[in-house]
Every structure is written in structure tokens, then in C-alpha cells.
Structure 1
Amino acid sequence: MRVANRVVGLVTGSLFVLLGLVGLVVSWGGGFAGLGVSLGGVIAINPALSVMLIALGGTVLAAALVSLRASRTANAWVGFGFLVLGFVGLFLVGPEPNVLVLTSTANAIHFAASALLLAVGLGANRPS
């Protein structure tokens, strides 16, 4: 199947852009790097995290629409970005300088997205 990277890019990119847009609307007015609000009691989000999610999701989504090669590259790099964000979040959960309101649930989501994007970006649709 030659489309795994593009399908994963379209789905994950759309989900993260949607989450970022919802988070931006819901948390607007609370300060860019403020305490944030809870989305359904599951994940906390503020405008800073929302902008980051829109940027990362938009990158993967746009690359999936362009070409397979662009999608593979974007999936791998954005997957690495989510991996870094997950590790940073491990150290920021709880302390005061947590400007992205990273929680353990958010870290789990970032690690899962990282695993998925890195798996397809580095492993699927490799050129022959």
C-alpha cells in the first residue's frame, strides 16, 4: 500500500488542527500562556498549546496533500517534534513554568502521536 503516510498524515493532521482550533476558541481570553481550560475533563489546553498543535497538525496535513515524499518527511519530523514535546512535558507536569499546560494525559497523547508518525514516516512507503 503506497498511501499509508498520506492517510496517517491526513487523519492525524486533521485531528490536531481540529483540537488546536477548539482549544483556541475555548481558551481565548485567558492569556496566551495562561493556566488554560479543561476540554471535557480530559486534557488542559491554552492558546500557546493550541497554536503549537495547529502548526504541527497543519504541517502534517499540508504535506499529506502535496506528495508522498513530503508526507513521509513531515511525518518523521513532526513525530520527532511530538517526541520532544512528550519528554519536555515529563519535566513540566506540575511545576510553575508549565506555559503549555502539559499534563500526563497530554504527554500520553504526544507520545502516541509520536510513535504513530515516526512509524509511518520512517518505516512505511520506503522508496524501492
Structure 2
Amino acid sequence: MNSQISAKGRRSARGAARAATAQDSSSASSRPVEVLETYFGADGRPVKRKSIGAARVARRYDERGNKVEEAYFGADGKPTLRKGLRVARIAWRYDDRGRQIDAFFFGADGEPIHKGAAARERALEDA
């Protein structure tokens, strides 16, 4: 996985998105980046990571390196609910200055889920 380790010791996919965007100097405009993270067992098959309750996480970043979407999938490849938040997909929105201004939640069926302010704040902190 093309990730960088942040000062806190956590993997920073945002840094990877910025690096990938910076490397693409041949195009006139920057392009969004998608990062897939899949967890495998000893047998080589996808397995659920206990801490998030998913076997695969797909993250999309805009041309500025802002995480705009994160989706969770089970070992079968179908959308699954993230442990703790109980959502299958989160989408973030940013203002013109790159500041997070909103978070939207979706269930495994793709339908919007209305969460309380605490879940929204947590999602904005995680972005």
C-alpha cells in the first residue's frame, strides 16, 4: 500500500494522495486519487479487520488531497457497516479553502442515513 506514516504513527493515505498527485506533472490538471486497502488472512483470502469490521476500505481523495469518500466492504466484496459508526460509506464536503464543512452517511443499501451531531463530528475529525 502506498501510505506514509504520520507523526502519530498512523498511516496517512492523504499524504499518499498528495504524493501521487505531485508525481503526475505530465497532465495539465490534477486528478482525484483512489486508495484501496484490503486485509488478507494466512490463506490469501480477504478477512474482516476486527477494529473496523470490514475486509476492504476504499478511499477517494480530491485533487487537493482531501478525503472525499470512504467506503467499507466485507470479504464477499459487498458493502458492509463500519464498526462503531454503523455506516457503509461516508462522504465529506469541503469549502473553497479546503476546510471540512460536512459529512454524509450511507447504509449498505446505498441509502442516506441520518446520524446525530456526535457521529458527524467524529467523521469530520477522521477525514
TM-score by length of 1: 0.31
TM-score by length of 2: 0.31
Ranked by relative contact order (alpha carbons within 8 Å, sequence separation 6 or more), the top structure is: 1
